[in-house]
Chains A and B, each alone.
Chain A
Amino acid sequence: MDLWSVSYDLTNLLVDIVNFFIYGLGWLIPGSIGEAFDSLGDWLASPGVMRIFTILMEIILLIVVALLNVVTLIWIERKLLARFWDFRGPFYVGPLGYFQNFADGLKFFLKQIITPIKADKFSYFIAPVIFIGSSILILGTIPIGPEFGITDEGTPVPGSVILAFAIFAVAPFSILVAGWAENNKFTLIGGMRSAAQMMSYEIPLLLSVASVIVLAGSFSFVDVVEAQADMWYAVPLFIGFLVFLVCIVAEVERIPFDLPEAEAELVEGWTTEYSGMRFGFFMMTEYVRGYAGCAIAAALFLGGWNGPAIIPDEFWFLIKAYMVFVIFVWIRASLPRIRTDQILDLGWKRLLPLAMLNLVIAVVLKTLGVF
């Protein structure tokens, strides 16, 4: 599906409807006011304004599609975890409990928001906005299909891989700010743990991504995926794929790496003092990041939307992303949470040498001309 042309047609339709009324008013009202309406209509239909509106329409469509995927992922996780732990999971609301997440969201929306009197008001407000906003922003970098991403008249944004990882790395900063601003001991410890975690996974993650970029020779997701038409990078760079999976689980803060909100030790970690819709958004944002991580893993290592043309490209991409997420759920159901010093040791003494080895393998493969 070509997202640009679809949203262009939709915007064109909307502008036509609006312009029908504007020109109608311009025809009804005589004099200079009527001429002003006419020029407003011309301005709306001009190419520059149409471009901005089309981009807005693209963004809305992309966010809606991504959030539907996120809701499906939460449902998959609930159902799967329930089966792992021998119960049935949600089944009251909707078919197989699919609408349970919508009901939970509505409930969070109606809950009271309490601001602690000792909290630092400005940073207490701004930290969730940065966390949620940056997490939703990651979705914009990831194209689901060859033409289903943020594009400008059909040209995708260049450098999307590097943008995605740059935005991914913003969240620990906002967690640290939130943990400090809430003025609570649990949240402070949670924020500090988030910083420790970021220190351990960031470098192996970037090095394993660098090995993919060595082979693909481009920063754009579209080019990286096109380069995997013959073979998935998970095959030659198997070590890198494993390192990337471990690091991305740490990046999206899921068990076994959810140190910042270790609910057994730190109440609810850095989100302790947040309530109502803010907390609800945090819960959703975790899965937005989970979806983004799975999608990036699918795009960089599992061949993205390459596959037999039985089903559309977008579905291949989503199937691969969902498979990665199922692995995440499996890990979550199986492993206990690890300590802060353990994750630092894991990052620096195990993952970093492996990522280096993987980079050397990529360099050798590229130099020998295999790719």
Chain B
Amino acid sequence: MLSDTYLPFAIFAVVSLALPVIVFWLSRYFRPLKVIPKQQETYECGEVPIGEAKIQFHFQYYMFAIIFVAFDLVSIFVILWALVFSDMGDIAKIMLLSFLGILMVGVTYALKKEEIIWI
């Protein structure tokens, strides 16, 4: 059963998530707790911070992000295909390889076509 097979790993997950929480909580009894208001200001190299940082950020890799979303799913598919590789017929092997080939052509086209891919 799945929960039985992965039980050690589930316990490991709980332990590893609890570890930082426990250490942060323990350090409360050793570290100084007195807070000076100036300390709590946002750090901006000593200057008085200008404005908020929760802004509409212009991330410049939009095209790559779109290709990534498509390709990420495909890579999961490839890994599953790789697991059962030796049990498959020739057609299944050729099918996925040609699918990957088509995808590569698509990626090359997308990267070539967008002259200014770095928006």
Residue of B nearest to A149 (CB): B8
Binary CB contact string for chain A from 275 to 310 against chain B (1 if under 8 A, 0 otherwise) = 011100100000000000000000000000000000
Chain B 55-90 residues near chain A, CB threshold 8 A: 55, 57, 59-61, 64-65, 67-68, 71-72, 75-76, 78-79, 81-83, 85-86
Classify the secondary structure of A's interface with B.
Answer: helix
B95 located at the interface, meaning its Cβ lies under 8 Å from any Cβ of chain A in the complex: no
Q: Judging by beta carbons under 8 Å apart, are A140 and B12 in contact?
A: yes
Segment touching B, from A180-188, A236-244, A248-256, A320-328: A180-188
Residue of B nearest to A219 (CB): B83
B118 located at the interface, meaning its Cβ lies under 8 Å from any Cβ of chain A in the complex: yes
> Assuming A117-B41, A217-B85, A344-B61, is B16 touching A136 (CB within 8 A)?
yes
A128 located at the interface, meaning its Cβ lies under 8 Å from any Cβ of chain B in the complex: yes
Q: Judging by beta carbons under 8 Å apart, are A277 and B24 in contact?
A: yes
Q: Judging by beta carbons under 8 Å apart, are A203 and B61 in contact?
A: no
Residue of B nearest to A360 (CB): B97
* Ranked 8 nearest A-B pairs via Cβ: A133-B17, A136-B16, A140-B12, A117-B40, A213-B82, A206-B75, A132-B20, A199-B68
The tally of residues in B whose CB lies under 8 Å from a CB in A reads: 63
- Output the least CB separation between B58 and chain A (Å): 9
- Output the least CB separation between A126 and chain B (Å): 10
Bound-complex Cα distance A366 to B82 (A): 11
A76 located at the interface, meaning its Cβ lies under 8 Å from any Cβ of chain B in the complex: no
Segment touching B, from A14-22, A90-98, A330-338, A348-356: A348-356
> Assuming A114-B39, A150-B12, A152-B7, is B57 touching A192 (CB within 8 A)?
yes
> Assuming A114-B40, A137-B13, A273-B42, is B85 touching A188 (CB within 8 A)?
no
Q: Judging by beta carbons under 8 Å apart, are A152 and B79 in contact?
A: no
Bound-complex Cα distance A352 to B107 (A): 10
Bound-complex Cα distance A367 to B92 (A): 13
Residue of B nearest to A273 (CB): B43
Bound-complex Cα distance A348 to B102 (A): 15
Given contacts A115-B40, A140-B16, A195-B59, 7 further A-B contacts (CB under 8 A): A112-B33, A114-B40, A137-B12, A152-B8, A158-B5, A189-B57, A277-B31
Bound-complex Cα distance A210 to B13 (A): 25
Binary CB contact string for chain B from 41 to 55 against chain A (1 if under 8 A, 0 otherwise) = 111110001001111
- Output the least CB separation between B74 and chain A (Å): 8
Using a CB–CB cutoff of 8 Å, the interface residues on chain B facing chain A are: 4-9, 11-13, 15-21, 23-24, 27, 30-33, 35, 37, 39-45, 49, 52-55, 57, 59-61, 64-65, 67-68, 71-72, 75-76, 78-79, 81-83, 85-86, 93, 97, 100, 104, 107, 111, 118
Q: CB < 8 Å: which of B42, B85, B93 contacts A183?
A: B42
Q: Judging by beta carbons under 8 Å apart, are B54 and A180 in contact?
A: yes
Bound-complex Cα distance A277 to B45 (A): 22
Using a CB–CB cutoff of 8 Å, the interface residues on chain A facing chain B are: 52, 55-56, 58-59, 63, 109-118, 128-130, 132-134, 136-137, 139-141, 150-152, 157-158, 162-163, 180, 182-189, 192, 195-196, 199-200, 202-203, 206-207, 209-211, 213-214, 217-219, 267, 272-273, 276-278, 281, 340-341, 344, 348-349, 352-353, 356, 359-360, 363, 366-367
Q: Judging by beta carbons under 8 Å apart, are B42 and A118 in contact?
A: yes
- Output the least CB separation between B6 and chain A (Å): 6
Central interface residue in B54, B79, B107, by most chain A CB within 10 Å: B79
User: How many pairs of residues, A versus B, come closer than 8 Å at their CB atoms?
Assistant: 188
Bound-complex Cα distance A184 to B45 (A): 11
Q: Judging by beta carbons under 8 Å apart, are A113 and B75 in contact?
A: no
Q: Judging by beta carbons under 8 Å apart, are B11 and A56 in contact?
A: yes
Q: CB < 8 Å: which of A129, A150, A186 contacts B20?
A: A129
- Residues from chain A with a CB closer than 8 A to the CB of B76 are 206
Q: Judging by beta carbons under 8 Å apart, are A356 and B111 in contact?
A: no
Q: CB < 8 Å: which of A150, A199, A214, A281 contacts B9?
A: A150
Residue of B nearest to A181 (CB): B54
Residue of B nearest to A141 (CB): B9
Bound-complex Cα distance A356 to B57 (A): 33
Q: CB < 8 Å: which of B20, B60, B68, B75 contacts A133?
A: B20
Q: CB < 8 Å: which of B61, B81, B97 contacts A340?
A: B61
Residue of A nearest to B45 (CB): A267
> Assuming A150-B12, A184-B44, is B31 touching A276 (CB within 8 A)?
yes
- Output the least CB separation between A107 and chain B (Å): 11
A-B contact pairs, 5 of them (CB 8 A): A63-B15, A109-B23, A199-B65, A206-B76, A211-B82
